[in-house]
Amino acid sequence: MTVALEPIGYVLTEEERPPRHWSVSDAKGTLMIDEQYLEGLTDIKAGQRIVVLFHFHRSPPFGPEFLHQHPAHKGRPMGVFSICSPLRPNPIGMSILKVTGVKDNLIHVRHLDMIDGTPILDIKPHVEDRHSCPSYGGE
């Protein structure tokens, strides 16, 4: 089976070295979404959080030597599926970002942990419980 994903946009940021994880980041940037998806951005508003799936486009190819990695902040080797490393069998990242503004196809965000030019694969609402998700009939 082959799975092919096409970016829906790209990250724009002047941050030279954003933090390695969104939860500790205050970095700012912009998600530039392809104009063909403009109508899909209609209900994204400043103040909300969004989940952004992206491609670790600068990660080296994955090999068995990366099944266990040694995150500096953990102090011991850990399995790849229990850490947030960009070295993964499928180099897909996920961040929860705060929207600071939307203008046309540009979503301005905070808590960025991506580099300039990072391909964006998808955007989803940040859902804390079933009551806050429109597809569940929530508020």
Q: Give residue-wise pLDDT tens across range 24-79.
A: 778 899 999 999 999 999 999 999 999 999 999 988 999 999 999 988 777 899 99
Domains of the chain: 9-57+73-136 (2.40.30.70)
| pTM recorded for the entire structure | 0.86
Alpha helices in 30-128 (DSSP H): none
Q: Could you read off the pLDDT of 55-64 as tens digits, one per residue? A: 999 889 999 9
Q: What amino acid is encoded at 8 in this protein?
A: I
CA dihedral 43, 48, 54, 58 (to 10 degrees): 130
Give the pLDDT of residue 139: 47
DSSP string across 64-93: GGGSEE--TTTSS-EEGGGS--S--SS-EE
**What mean pLDDT is predicted for residues 10-35?**
86
The answer to whether 18 and 113 have CB atoms below 8 angstroms apart is yes
Helix (H) and strand (E) counts in the chain: 0, 8
